[in-house]
């Protein structure tokens, strides 16, 4: 099934081969447990566990507690700078709540750039101020805005809120600012596919193009993640032929300035998550830092005690103490996958690391051009 026109894109998991140095360090760590792997490529950082929406399908739904779980202003900026000094390459602000609700997100974005890292935001797009939009476009490599619909009616089914027009208008404004500032920031209209919205994929893609964003990203939902709960039992299955037909039509809309990504390579033909690796070998390419002050093994296992590695507040050095720790080692090489039942964000990367660096083989004959 076609996923994109240009294979050199951020959604193609073959980009994981660029992480060879990190894979090698993980392999070395396996044989030398006292020598931790390289600092992660990316930090997934959730500045606040609060959201103005309460979407049932959100993987953070079960632990959104409001302002009680919010990084302090000072800590958010200090944490960002610490990551840059440690050697992290990029920070994604979002995931476990709506990051634009944190009043110092703009300061963190500037700190991220000043520390030599790239930044990104995963957002529902409904809380942006004009000032924050300008800062975000100026400092971010990408901004992903989750819409998951093409009409106010369908949006309200998933979001339980009448904010479709707000989100769409902010997307339009982000695209305008990006063109005015002429930055490399990719603005993405994101569409997580469920049975209730699967009929609107193509209409959403047309709307994304009309809004002037660079990317349209659609993929199946994962009904197994911890946030689903009973919702997974109430949601009907996909009409896969309908979805595929719309994917094809979406790709016909592509131009040099508008890119379509219909990402399914982490799923089987029935859109069920595919996990064809043995262990979580590539997980140390990312670190998960949450607003509850805890460090978690990976973004897919936020707020799971079994995957908690340590704390980053009040002592930032707790990060380096957790990195390469005995528990971290066990999760990567022994128990991580065994305890996990969800879709794996890093599935292709785990497979790459396993086949090319963990196994004593050289299937790609890398020394030969």
Domains of the chain: 40-274 (3.20.20.70)
Beta strands 294-296; 90-93: pairing state:
unpaired
> Nearest-CA neighbor of 177 among 139, 148, 208, 122?
139
Helices 105-114, 130-139: axis angle to 10 degrees equals 20
Q: What span, in angstroms and rounded, lies between the C-alpha atoms of 254 and 51?
A: 33
Q: What span, in angstroms and rounded, lies between the C-alpha atoms of 280 and 282?
A: 6
Q: What span, in angstroms and rounded, lies between the C-alpha atoms of 96 and 45?
A: 8
Torsion of CA 67, 73, 77, 79, to 10 degrees: -60
Q: What is the pLDDT of residue 236?
A: 65
Q: What is the pLDDT of residue 21?
A: 98
The gap from C-alpha 96 to its chain's centroid, in whole angstroms, comes to: 10
Q: What is the pLDDT of residue 105?
A: 98
Instruction: State both tokens at 146.
Output: 């989750």
Predicted TM-score (pTM) of this structure: 0.95
> Nearest-CA neighbor of 80 among 36, 43, 32?
43
* Per-run averaged pLDDT (10 residues), the chain, 369 residues: 94 96 98 98 96 82 71 97 98 91 97 98 97 98 97 94 97 98 98 95 98 97 67 72 97 97 92 92 98 96 95 97 98 96 92 96 92
């Amino acid at each position: 099934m076609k996923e994109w026109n240009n294979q050199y894109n951020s959604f193609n998991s073959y980009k994981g081969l660029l992480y060879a140095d990190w894979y090698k360090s993980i392999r070395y760590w396996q044989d030398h447990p006292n020598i931790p792997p390289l600092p992660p490529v990316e930090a997934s950082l959730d500045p606040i566990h609060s959201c103005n929406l309460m979407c049932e399908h959100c993987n953070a739904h079960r632990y959104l507690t409001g302002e009680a779980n919010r990084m302090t202003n000072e800590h958010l900026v200090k944490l960002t700078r610490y990551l840059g000094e440690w050697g992290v390459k990029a920070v994604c602000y979002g995931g476990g709540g709506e990051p634009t609700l944190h009043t110092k997100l703009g300061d963190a974005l500037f700190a991220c750039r000043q520390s030599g890292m790239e930044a990104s935001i995963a957002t529902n797009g409904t809380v942006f101020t004009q000032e924050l939009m300008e800062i975000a476009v100026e400092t971010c490599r990408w901004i992903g805005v989750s819409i998951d619909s093409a009409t106010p009616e369908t949006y309200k089914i998933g979001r339980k809120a009448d904010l479709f027009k707000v989100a769409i208008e902010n997307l339009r404004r982000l695209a305008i600012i990006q063109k005015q500032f002429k930055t490399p920031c990719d603005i993405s209209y994101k569409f997580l596919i469920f049975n209730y919205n699967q009929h609107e994929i193509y209409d959403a893609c047309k709307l994304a193009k009309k809004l002037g964003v660079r990317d349209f990203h659609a993929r199946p939902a994962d009904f197994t993640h911890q946030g689903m709960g009973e919702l997974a039992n109430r949601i009907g299955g996909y009409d896969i032929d309908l979805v595929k037909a719309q994917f094809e039509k979406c790709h016909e809309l592509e131009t040099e300035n508008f890119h379509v990504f219909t990402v399914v390579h982490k799923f089987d033909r029935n859109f069920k998550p595919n996990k064809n690796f043995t262990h979580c070998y590539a997980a140390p390419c990312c670190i998960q830092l949450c607003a509850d002050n805890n460090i978690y093994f990976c973004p897919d296992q936020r707020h799971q005690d079994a995957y908690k590695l340590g704390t980053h507040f009040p002592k930032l050095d707790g990060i380096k103490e957790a990195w390469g720790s005995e528990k971290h080692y066990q999760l990567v090489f022994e128990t991580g996958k065994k305890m996990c039942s969800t879709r794996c964000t890093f599935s292709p990367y785990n497979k790459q690391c396993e086949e090319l660096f963990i196994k004593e083989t050289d299937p790609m004959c890398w020394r030969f051009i």
